């Protein structure tokens, strides 16, 4: 066997695993959006932190924050959003346009702060908090 073929097989296996995790996480996110709406938990206009960390800008997304630091959220459309943006002048004036991201099964995995939380637990906590999330 050549090393290139072995590397490609490993890369393909990792890609299949990542895709499977993304599908599983997306199903959890979609179920959360339905459950939150059914429970009457009010969505709010989500904001995004600028890359520099100097402020927040409004977005076109309405939904629920999943972490208290407001770094990720779920839209009423059942999509997962990472709430960060370049934060240039145009975004500050008109708001940021976010695109959905592939959701992870663990929020914060590999982050510098070392605080990670399984997605299923974050969703459970958020639903349990109802409108009292702050």
pTM score: 0.87
From CA 61, how far away is CA 76, in angstroms rounded?
8
**DSSP state, residue 132:** G
Q: At what angle do helices 3-38 and 119-129 cross, to 10 degrees?
A: 10
Per-residue pLDDT of the chain (134 residues; tens, 9 = 90+): 577 788 889 999 999 999 999 999 999 999 999 999 999 999 999 999 999 888 899 999 999 999 989 999 999 999 999 999 987 777 778 888 999 999 999 998 766 666 788 999 999 999 999 998 76
pLDDT of residue 1: 56
Q: How many CB atoms lie within 10 A of CB 124?
A: 13
pLDDT of residue 31: 97
pLDDT of residue 20: 94
From CA 87, how far away is CA 73, in angstroms rounded?
18
Q: Beta-strand (E) ranges in the chain?
A: 44-50, 56-65, 72-75, 80-82, 84-85, 106-107, 117-118
Q: How many CB atoms lie within 10 A of CB 12?
A: 10
């Amino acid at each position: 066997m050549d090393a290139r073929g072995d590397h490609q097989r490993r890369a393909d296996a990792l890609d299949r695993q990542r895709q499977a995790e993304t599908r599983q996480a997306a199903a959890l996110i979609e179920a959360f959006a339905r459950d939150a709406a059914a429970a009457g938990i009010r969505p709010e206009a989500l904001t995004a932190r600028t890359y520099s960390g100097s402020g927040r800008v409004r977005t076109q997304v309405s939904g629920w924050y999943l972490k208290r630091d407001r770094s990720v959220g779920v839209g009423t459309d059942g999509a997962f959003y990472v709430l960060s943006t370049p934060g240039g002048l145009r975004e500050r004036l008109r708001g940021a346009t976010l695109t959905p991201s592939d959701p992870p099964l663990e929020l914060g995995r590999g982050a510098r702060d070392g605080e990670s939380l399984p997605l299923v637990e974050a969703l459970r906590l958020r639903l349990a908090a109802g409108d009292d999330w702050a």
